[in-house]
């Protein structure tokens, strides 16, 4: 029996008046895959397009997949059903859904086509109910196996962040740095980057979601790098901002303000505290300085199988209370249009007495 399936149904029982007979997690075509499929199956390799997981309240797990993915699926610990033809698929699904009058679906990640696929194989009187709130709550609290994998993903990203100090010099281009980040992460065991890396020089660093381009680094500019390693399907996410010297008083003031905002926010992260508190503390500090209103996003987001894995630190998260095992980014920033921006981002695990820091690269001001 799969404990993650049991945890999901326990959360469903808290959230809903009636617990579904089964929950069906269905993948469409990449990139429209439901990461919850990989959460419950623990499968680390394979694409599993069009594959389905059927979950029962007793923790039983069935996986339906094509012959193409049979070898990868055979590594999992569940009841495996492999189909060769469409008729075989239809027979397997009809059998697994037989008798289920209340079927849970993850509406946040389900395509309309796959919704109809489930509906087609259910009995006529079956009702499909959305359990995405419970899915999100389940995945927000990581087990120790997940945290161990995240530690490795964060270690890879941290090592590469330190390495950039040596190879980023005037004359290099943004896209060259982005390529080096990917290369160095894969050399250290990552499958690849966990998202499109952000590398921004000078005034470009004032754009939080900038894409690297054909821009050459010059002296006196910020160098902002936001990237992460994908390891066994789990994501890390780190940002470091360096200065291609000389460091001016303005550079230093912005950097030190962001660093202090992060330090204050980290002090508020512990079990039992509202997820709105760390953000509010960081924002209030920044707004007490000359950089008021230049922190333009939430303090952090959930991290796991997805880069944004549910939940986060922001003003609207008052009702979300931190629990042991939740994993978030902590990333205050100041963005000054026409000049540049600073963001310092680290990945943490919520613990009883404070955050466990997963990313370890230096956070002091660094001149390249």
Question: Which tokens belong to 21?
Answer: 């007979």
- Asked if the peptide bond before residue 31 counts as cis, ω within 30 degrees of 0, the response is yes
Compute the distance between CA of residue 355 and CA of residue 194 in angstroms, rounded to an integer.
23
* Beta strands in 176-331, from DSSP E residues, in sequence order: 192-193, 198-201, 221-227, 229-231, 234-235, 238-244, 300-301, 312-313, 327-330
Average pLDDT, the chain: 97
Q: What is the pLDDT of residues 297-306, one digit of tens each?
A: 999 999 999 9
Question: What gap in Å lies between CA 75 and CA 362, rounded to an integer?
Answer: 39
Closest CA to 344 of 230, 245, 266, 291: 266
Kindly tell me if the per-residue pLDDT of 111 is higher than 90: yes
- The encoded tokens of residue 168 equal 């980023």
Q: How far apart are CA 96 and CA 90, in angstroms?
A: 10
- In the chain, the domains with their CATH numbers are 3-139 (3.40.350.10), 144-357 (3.90.230.10)
Q: Is the dihedral of CA 158, 162, 167, 172 positive or negative?
A: positive
pLDDT > 70 fraction of the chain, expressed in percent and rounded: 100
* Cβ(269)–Cβ(349) below 8 Å: no
Task: For residue 65, list its beta bridge partners.
Answer: 82
Q: Are 198 and 226 in contact (CB under 8 A)?
A: yes
**Whole-number pLDDT of residue 297:** 97
Q: How many percent of the chain have pLDDT more than 90?
A: 99
Residue 1 banded pLDDT, cuts 50, 70, 90: confident
Question: Does an H or E element contain 23, and which?
Answer: strand 22-26
Beta bridge partners of 102: 127
140, two tokens: 């927000």
Supply the Cα-derived Rg of the chain in whole angstroms: 23
Contact 196, 211 (CB under 8 A): yes
The first and second tokens of residue 72, run together, are 């990868």
Q: Is 16 helix (H, G, I), strand (E, B) or coil?
A: coil
Q: How many CB atoms neighbour CB 3 within 10 A? A: 10
Confidence band of 361 (pLDDT split at 50, 70, 90)? very high
Task: Give me the pLDDT at residue 121, please.
Answer: 96
Q: What spatial distance separates the first Cα and last Cα of the chain, rounded to whole Å? A: 53
Write down the pLDDT at residue 136.
96
Task: Check: CB of residue 199 under 8 Å from CB of residue 224.
Answer: yes
**CB 322, CB 265: distance < 8 Å:** no
Q: Is the dihedral of CA 84, 44, 96, 119 positive or negative?
A: negative
Tell me the pLDDT tens digit for each residue of 69-105: 999 999 999 999 999 999 999 999 999 999 999 999 9
Question: Across the strands, what pairs with 239?
Answer: 226, 345
- Please give the average per-residue pLDDT across 145-163, as a whole number: 98
């Amino acid at each position: 029996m799969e404990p993650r399936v049991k945890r999901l149904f326990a959360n469903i029982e808290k959230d809903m008046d009636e617990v579904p007979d089964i929950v069906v997690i269905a993948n469409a075509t990449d990139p429209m895959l439901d990461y919850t499929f990989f959460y419950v199956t623990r499968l680390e390799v394979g694409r599993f397009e069009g594959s389905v997981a059927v979950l029962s309240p007793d923790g039983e797990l069935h996986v339906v997949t094509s012959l193409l993915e049979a070898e990868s699926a055979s590594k999992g610990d569940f009841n495996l059903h492999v189909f060769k033809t469409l008729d075989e698929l239809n027979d397997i699904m009809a059998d697994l859904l037989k008798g289920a009058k209340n079927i849970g679906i993850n509406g946040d990640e389900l395509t309309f086509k796959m919704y109809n696929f489930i509906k087609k194989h259910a009995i006529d009187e079956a009702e499909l109910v959305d359990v995405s709130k419970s899915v999100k709550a389940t995945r927000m609290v990581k087990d120790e196996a997940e945290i161990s994998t995240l530690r490795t993903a964060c270690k890879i990203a941290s090592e590469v962040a330190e390495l950039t100090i040596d190879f980023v010099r005037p004359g290099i281009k943004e896209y060259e740095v982005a390529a080096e980040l990917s290369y160095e992460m894969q050399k250290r065991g990552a499958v690849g980057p966990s998202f499109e890396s952000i590398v921004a020089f000078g005034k470009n660093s004032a754009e939080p979601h900038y894409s690297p381009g054909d821009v050459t680094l010059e002296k006196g500019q910020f160098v902002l790098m936001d990237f992460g390693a994908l390891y066994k399907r789990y994501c890390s996410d780190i940002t470091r901002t360096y200065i291609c010297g000389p460091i001016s008083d303005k550079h230093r003031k912005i950097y030190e303000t962001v660093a202090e905002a992060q330090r204050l926010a980290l002090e508020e992260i512990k079990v039992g505290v509202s997820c709105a508190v760390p953000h509010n503390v960081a924002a209030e500090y920044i707004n007490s300085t000359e950089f008021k209103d230049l922190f333009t996003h939430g303090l952090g987001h959930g991290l796991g199988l997805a880069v944004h894995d549910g939940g986060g630190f922001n003003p609207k998260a008052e009702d979300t209370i931190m629990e042991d095992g939740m994993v978030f980014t902590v990333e205050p920033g100041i963005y000054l249009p026409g000049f540049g921006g600073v963001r310092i981002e680290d990945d943490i695990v919520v613990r009883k007495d404070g955050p466990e820091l997963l990313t370890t690269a230096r956070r002091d001001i660094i001149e390249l």
